[in-house]
Structure 1
Amino acid sequence: MQDSIKLSRVEPALDDLSYPTTRRDAAAAFDGVTLLLADGSTDLGDVIRGCYTDEFADSKELYYELTMAMPIEAVGEPGQSEGDA
């Protein structure tokens, strides 16, 4: 497993797990992996622990839950919108 991973590369990395998998097992698999965000970093295992679902049927389900559990730093500066002039 990599020591760090960019947010844009998380989805393919989730494919490496065997599914179905539990939140606990997925978090353990990524403990110590630094997730590089738009503004900072966090432990990927900790973010997975923050998900609400206890079991994931596939990597797409885990990725969806993961994006919902991401800290605000994941997407850049809070309150900014690409569409506002």
Structure 2
Amino acid sequence: MTEDVKLSRVESRLRELSYPISRSEAAAECSDVELQLADGEANLGAVIADTGSESFDGPNELYEEVQNALPIEALGEPGQSDGDA
């Protein structure tokens, strides 16, 4: 079953993983998560698979990599909020 997660809530989802974790393990663990973005959706597992790091020591490191892997359009207009932060 697919889990829908807003981008503003993805950090809490990443905290559920056991660290340290490899990129491939994190991608597999999150393959059923659909990120709700400002301009559509993206599979979190696929986003993690596209990151540059081979492993992550903690959720903050993984969150930063996910943010860097997303196109700027996914984050919405500069200065705008999704209203539920």
TM-score class, shorter: 0.7 to 0.9
- C-alpha displacement of 1:74: 1.3
Given that 1:34 and 1:44 are in contact with CA atoms closer than 8 Å, whether structure 2 keeps it comes out as yes
What TM-score do you get using the length of structure 1 for normalisation? 0.84
Q: Structure 1: which 5+ residue stretches go unaligned?
A: none
State the secondary structure of the residue aligned to 2:24: helix
Q: In structure 2, list runs of 5 or more residues that go unmatched.
A: 80-85
| Equivalent residue, structure 2, for 1:21 | 21
TM-score in terms of structure 2 length: 0.84
Deviation at 1:3, TM superposition (A): 1.2
Q: Give the count of matched residue pairs.
A: 79
Report if the CA contact (8 A) 1:40-1:73 is conserved: no
Query: 4+ residue stretches of structure 1 with deviation over 4 A?
Result: none
Structure number with greater Rg is 1
What's the RMSD between the two structures over aligned residues?
1.6
Equivalent pairs: percent with the same residue? 48
